[in-house]
Amino acid sequence: MNQLFSSVRVGRYMLPNRLAMAPMTRSRADAAGVPGDLAARYYAQRAGVGLIVTEGTQPSDDGQGYLTTPGIYSDARTDGWKKVTSAVHDAGGHIFIQLMHAGRMSHPDNTPHHRQGVAPSAIAPGAPMFTAKGMQDIPAPRALTTVEVRQTVQDFRTSAGRAIEAGADGVEIHGANAYLLHQFLAPSANTRTDQYGGLVENRARFAIEVATAITEEIGADRTAIRLSPGTTMWGIDEGAEGPDLYRYLVAELDKLGLAYLHIMHQGNDPLLSDIRKLWKQPLVLNRPGRPRDRIGSDVASGLADLEAYGQMVLANPDFVARLKANAPMNDADRNTFFGGAAQGYVDYPALSA
């Protein structure tokens, strides 16, 4: 456990401990996708972890999937994030904004332009989504043209520059959990016949191009990516080639010298071991549902350089202090995860209270 509280270099930053706040959608931006004062307070409260990774933040109108999620592609949205990053830095923390394009995991009622979602191929995920009108089935997306794929890469590049302008320490590319980058990786969502479909190398191309563009814009030492090998949610099936695709992708991304790789582990231990060997930079590991008595075990074994936690950090703004004191943890209130105001967002009590 003590190793968790040792410093670690991630990109250009020396972090005070090896604990990270995992990205979590909270749906509390305003209707225009601007994070407000409550978001600044929420993230600053949790600045005791070595690294905060924000909720998924869309790089364009097409990138929005859910209601009231923040963007980072206009002056107003950038100014909103400036308040958040300033509050985190004032509290002594480090913050990476996660760039997330939802792809087909979207509904026209949830986006500013009210258009059909976009994806590698015109294949619906077969899942419902919450909208202002209640739960609705997600319609089939429109397949991006090859030119539009390249423009989407540029959208990621521009939004990364915006994130740095907003004061973020870096960006994490969301390549996991059935969103756009992950859709390109999975043959169940990608039946393209151009250079972005078919072979493993082609399906990995979009993710590599996005990461490369962002490193060119803001530097590799401020660029990271999150992957979730083996995820099967929302119609995603990576197929028999899935493990080999990730071995190829991780090896190619490693050449870029990114700040870190964030893995959401789904149980394939041999693949995780291979990724650890292939990846020469810091590895952040998130094991969903990890019990408290296993906190610190991946850092202690050398499998990870940092461990990421979601609900425990959400419910315990003083997460690090509670671990050090072996104090009890607050339970997360699932009823307040998405949307709303202060309740379940900035009102979880700290030990000092």
Can you tell me the distance from the alpha carbon of 99 to that of 56, in angstroms, rounded to the nearest whole number? 6
Can you tell me the distance from the alpha carbon of 77 to that of 54, in angstroms, rounded to the nearest whole number? 14
Residue with tokens 């670690």: 8
Per residue in 269-282, is it b (16+ CB within 10 Å) or e — as a string?
eebbebbbebbebb
Q: Could you list the beta-strand ranges (E) of the chain.
A: 8-10, 13-15, 19-21, 51-57, 95-99, 118-119, 128-131, 134-137, 142-143, 170-174, 223-227, 260-264, 283-286, 306-309
Q: Is 302 left (phi over 0), alpha (psi -120 to 50) or beta?
A: left
Three-state SS at 173: strand
Q: What is the pairing mode between strands 306-309 and 19-21?
A: parallel
DSSP conformational letter for 47 = T
Annotated active-site positions, please?
Answer: 179
Residues in Cβ contact with 175 at an 8 Å cutoff, skipping those fewer than 6 apart: 181, 182, 185, 207, 225, 226, 227
Can you tell me the distance from the alpha carbon of 28 to that of 296, in angstroms, rounded to the nearest whole number? 31
DSSP conformational letter for 71 = B
* CA angle, 333 then 338 then 339, to 5°: 115
Can you tell me the distance from the alpha carbon of 221 to that of 249, in angstroms, rounded to the nearest whole number? 19
Residue 349 burial (CB < 10 Å; 0-12/13-18/19+)?
exposed
Can you tell me the distance from the alpha carbon of 248 to that of 242, in angstroms, rounded to the nearest whole number? 10
